[in-house]
Amino acid sequence: MAAVQWRSRGRNYEAELQRCRPEAALVEFGDYHPLKSIMVTDTKTRRGARKGSTSSSSSSSSSAPLDPLSSMLDGTDPLSMFAAASATETPAMSHSKEKEEEVVGPDFESWSLKRGEILARFTTTEKLSIVSRRDKLFCYSKLKDPGSSAVSEKVRTRLEELDDLEEGSQRELLNLSQQDYANRIEELNQSLKEAWASDQKVKALKIVIQCSKLLSDTSVIQFYPSKFVLITDILDTFGRLVYDRIWTMCSDPRPLPDSFTVDDVNDTAKETCLNWFFKIASIRELLPRLYVEAAILKCNCFLNKCGIQETLPRLTAMIRGIGDPLVAAYTRAYLCRVGMEVAPHLKDSLNRNFFDLLGSFRQISSESVQNQLVLQRVEVPEYLTLYSPAISWILQCIAYRAPEDYINCAEIWVEFTCRHFSKREVNTVLADIIKHMTPDRAFEDAYPQLQSVIRKILTYFHDFSVLFSMERFLPFLDMFQKDSVRVEVCRSIMEVFIKHQVEPTRDPVILNAMLHICKTMHDSVNALTVEDEKRSLALLIIGFIRMVCFGRDFEQQLSFCVEARATFCNLESVMVQLIHTVNQLAMETSRVMRGSHSRKTAAFVRACAAYSFITIPSLSSIFSRLSLYLLSGQVALANQCLSQADAFLKAAVSLLPEVPRSISVEGKLRASESFLLDFINNFLATLLVVPDHPEHGVLYLVRGLLNMIQDYTWEDNSDAKVRVYVSALPLLAAMSQETYLYSIPKVDSNETLYGGDPKFLLEINKLSETLIGQVLDHLKGLGRDEATRRQGALAFSLFGVLLAHGDLRNNKLSQLAVNLWNLSHKHGYCETRVSVSSQPISQKIRKPDMFSLTFTK
């Protein structure tokens, strides 16, 4: 009923004006209301009158001296008329204009794209409601206390009517479907435009405030992101209308230049603008006040050069007053959005918003949020996804045209993601970083940050099957295109792998990725790479190889070694490791078969031997080759591959002449002699169990070895050759036993082959004698050379061998022993400790045979 009254009054303007004129003054004394003047002056007839008048374009109001806002209401401004004439075209026009003024480039993903995504993603089937409480919106509209005059009563009634009119259009609407809700909001958007077009500026403002208030309502929380989109559309419309209106006010006599300054803005426009800000500052509730002020943020440029710069941080701080974290996050997203549109260079506020968001993240676990979720039956994971559009928008703003800022931010963000989320989210972050850092090769300037990202991921992800199942992890590594950095990154991954990969693995994902990483490290090796670097890279690769295990699938393991050999061929120690691995594989096969190979496994172990046999020659270190030939020979023997074993040992023997007199050990040249002696002793020990080759003569390998030793160019003044001869004596002695000291299961040694054949024994004895003869000749020579110390030592070692391995019942031999004893003590160089411990033994030699020898000393 009240509304009908209002309308009828509006039609008869002149009469009303006449009636009210004398009273208006009284009203202003006792009962000022900011809306009052608006109601009194808002009529269409009046505008008609103006139109007919001469071209006075001043727009200041006559009856509303206090409130320049009301000056908008007399309808002379071209914008309003235009808007009224073609309300539907208005948005398009404003939009194109906005485009012209756009500060962000096309490389910024526009809100309109995002907007659609959000609407499509956050939907609900729950019933929605729009509830507008009939609170007062502005603080000082309450001011109507002393109702003494009849006039102020009238004014008050009209005020309430106005409220009715406005709130009548937004009463409670319950049980809306999502589509109904969107339609309803669109209707509000339309009524906003209509209200504006018909110069009801305050009604327009009220609509916007009511809409903003809907954003504090988080019932049907799944729909909140979409609701945010719908309602901020209205705020955008409003912000444009206000801005365009003030802009138009300054267009007399000529339009404002695009890059206008505060000085170009006339006083009336400034006053109107200021009035909007005062009006908004008095909005009672926090959330609408924030949103509406943010919506007209751009208008600050009419008032003050640094208005926007001062307002953004203030609004950012004010958002802290919003208790609900979701509501606050979206308010931040909106503020960042308008901030980006108006002043994309003001990064500080964007960052501040992000940090405040993180700072208040704990609110999510607060009781009020948890209760709400329980009430709405929404699980926390689902609830958290509601934040994603807001956070992604804020981050997009922060990251815009700032790869450096972006990466600094992402570097921090990734740790948060690693700590609190799963590989899926980390993968998303990686994908995003790749997306941002790939254009213009931005990654080139961000290697430290990108490395830090990797480090952080490695701190939290020790399970490499999880790590490598992130699709974007390897593509991320591809961004490290500078060799040194790339290798460093691979190295850091390998270090973590070696430290944390406890169980051997056959996971193809891990193997492929690690092979890729190791290959990267390997391929960085070139002629200039220092030994130290090579060694450390090789160690890491070896660490990987040692963790590869295909279990019982031995063939797979072997083919892995084949692949690895091809991949890592430049790193010798990796080759060595591979040979060890293959040997180990053969032994493992033997263990599984309990020593009896089937045809298949026999073929397999031969394949292993073949692998080693062709790999060893590629090594440059001669001692590696020697020891691997020996080792592989032993393995072949253990697996009953006699001809393979023979080949290995023969290869080792034929290699001996190539051993240089000095080798490089840890960068220093050292005589190779002692290494060679060690190797030969080891080799001799193996020869005991190697059966003679049926096609070659007796003790073919022993002879071959001794020949090589004889021909070898030893150091001058060296006893090495003779020492080898001395060492060979125990072997020969062991070979002449009926039962050998040790043997290899399922391999017949010479003991069985010859079965103690006297011819064989004779061969051994002859050989031994030759050797002893050689040693004695050498001892003589030493006496001539006055090398008595060496003579003594050598004599003593031969004495030791005779003692241990010779049959001293043989007089000649025992005599020789005694002579050697004497010789070794002749010059007093023999080590007393050793000789004393052997003295009782030499006495024993003598006693049973009653030799009357005098042991001097």
Alpha helices in 89-143 (DSSP H): 90-101, 111-121
- Between CA 793 and CA 720 the distance in angstroms is 12
Determine which residue in the list 115, 284, 352, 519 makes contact with another protein, applying CB under 8 A: 284
Is 48 near another protein (CB under 8 A)? no
For the segment 100-139, give every residue that binds another protein (CB under 8 A). Answer: 139
- Residues 514, 515, 519, 520: is their CA dihedral positive or negative? negative
Is 217 near another protein (CB under 8 A)? no
For the segment 143-172, give every residue that binds another protein (CB under 8 A). Answer: 143, 145-146, 148
Is 216 near another protein (CB under 8 A)? yes
Is 30 near another protein (CB under 8 A)? yes
Give the binding-site size for another protein (rule: CB under 8 A).
59
Q: Which residue lies nearer to another protein by CB, 367 or 695?
A: 367
How many residues can be counted in the chain? 857
Is 766 near another protein (CB under 8 A)? no
- Between CA 94 and CA 113 the distance in angstroms is 18
Is 85 near another protein (CB under 8 A)? no
For the segment 646-665, give every residue that binds another protein (CB under 8 A). Answer: none
| Cβ proximity of 264 and 249 under 8 Å | no
Query: Closest approach of Cβ 371 to another protein, in Å?
Result: 10
- Between CA 288 and CA 284 the distance in angstroms is 8
| Cβ proximity of 724 and 714 under 8 Å | no
Query: Closest approach of Cβ 257 to another protein, in Å?
Result: 21
Query: Closest approach of Cβ 368 to another protein, in Å?
Result: 4
Is 469 near another protein (CB under 8 A)? no
Choose one: 323-331, 450-458, 665-673, 731-739; the region binding another protein (CB under 8 A): 323-331
Is 324 near another protein (CB under 8 A)? yes
For 402, residues 6+ apart whose C-beta sits below 8 A from its C-beta are 347
Is 252 near another protein (CB under 8 A)? no
Query: Closest approach of Cβ 103 to another protein, in Å?
Result: 27
Query: Closest approach of Cβ 290 to another protein, in Å?
Result: 10
| Cβ proximity of 637 and 689 under 8 Å | yes
Choose one: 105-113, 271-279, 395-403, 411-419; the region binding another protein (CB under 8 A): 271-279
Query: Closest approach of Cβ 150 to another protein, in Å?
Result: 16
Determine which residue in the list 7, 11, 19, 21 makes contact with another protein, applying CB under 8 A: 21
Determine which residue in the list 85, 131, 281, 836 makes contact with another protein, applying CB under 8 A: 281
Query: Closest approach of Cβ 233 to another protein, in Å?
Result: 23
Q: Which residue lies nearer to another protein by CB, 267 or 666?
A: 267
For 107, residues 6+ apart whose C-beta sits below 8 A from its C-beta are 400, 401
Q: Which residue lies nearer to another protein by CB, 253 or 758?
A: 253
Query: Closest approach of Cβ 370 to another protein, in Å?
Result: 11
What is the 8-class DSSP label of residue 63?
A: S
Q: Which of 250-282 are b and which e, b meaning 16 or more Cβ less than 10 Å from the residue's Cβ?
A: beeeeebeeeeeeeebeebbbbbbbbbbebbee
| Cβ proximity of 642 and 700 under 8 Å | no
For 398, residues 6+ apart whose C-beta sits below 8 A from its C-beta are 336, 347, 350, 351, 354, 405, 406, 409
- Between CA 473 and CA 320 the distance in angstroms is 37
Geometric angle at alpha carbon 555, from 551 and 560, rounded to 5° = 85
| Cβ proximity of 800 and 822 under 8 Å | no
| Cβ proximity of 384 and 426 under 8 Å | no
For 503, residues 6+ apart whose C-beta sits below 8 A from its C-beta are none
Q: Which residue lies nearer to another protein by CB, 10 or 323?
A: 323
Q: Which residue lies nearer to another protein by CB, 218 or 819?
A: 218
Is 62 near another protein (CB under 8 A)? yes
Query: Closest approach of Cβ 358 to another protein, in Å?
Result: 11
What is the 8-class DSSP label of residue 400?
A: T
| DSSP, residue by residue, 737-787 | SSS-S---TT---HHHHHTT-HHHHHHHHHHHHHHHHHHHHHHHHHHHTT-
Q: Which residue lies nearer to another protein by CB, 148 or 459?
A: 148
Residues 350-389, one symbol each (x = binds another protein by CB under 8 A, - = not), give ------x--xx-xx--xxx---------------------
Closest CA to 612 of 641, 591, 653: 641
- Residue in the structure block whose two tokens are 């990483």: 517
Choose one: 286-294, 581-589, 650-658, 697-705; the region binding another protein (CB under 8 A): 286-294
Choose one: 140-148, 296-304, 391-399, 620-628; the region binding another protein (CB under 8 A): 140-148
Query: Closest approach of Cβ 288 to another protein, in Å?
Result: 10
Q: Which residue lies nearer to another protein by CB, 11 or 314?
A: 314
Is 396 near another protein (CB under 8 A)? no
Query: Would you tell me which residues interact with another protein (CB under 8 A)?
Result: 14, 21, 24-25, 28-30, 32, 49, 53-54, 56, 58, 60, 62-63, 65-66, 68, 139-140, 142-143, 145-146, 148, 216, 266-268, 270-271, 274, 277-278, 281-282, 284-287, 289, 314, 317-318, 320-324, 327, 356, 359-360, 362-363, 366-368
